[in-house]
Amino acid sequence: MQIVVDLTRCQAYAQCVFLAPEVFRLPGEEALLYRPDVPDDQLERVRQAAAACPVQAILIGEAVRADAR
């Protein structure tokens, strides 16, 4: 699965880091870092992270392809 994080929307609340630390990182006060190709064993955690994002900055799967158009 592919994800994209809209870094202009991200406010560094770090809910995604808490829920899926193998995919998302927030080093210091810098911008969020993430793996755009999500490993199969992390899919559910990433879905939970996207749902928990207060600003809905995480796009998953089909939303990523639609946003790229």
* Architecture of the domain spanning 3-68: 2-Layer Sandwich (3.30)
Question: Would you list the domain boundaries of the chain?
Answer: 3-68
What is the per-residue pLDDT for 52?
Answer: 98
Question: One-letter amino acid identity for 26?
Answer: L
pLDDT digits (tens, 9 = 90+) for 2-60: 999 999 999 999 999 999 999 999 998 778 999 999 999 999 999 999 999 999 999 99
Are 11 and 55 in contact by the 8 Å Cβ rule? The answer is: yes
Give the per-residue pLDDT at 22. 97
pLDDT of residue 23: 98
pTM: 0.85
Q: What does DSSP say about strands 33-34 and 24-25: parallel, antiparallel, or unpaired?
A: antiparallel
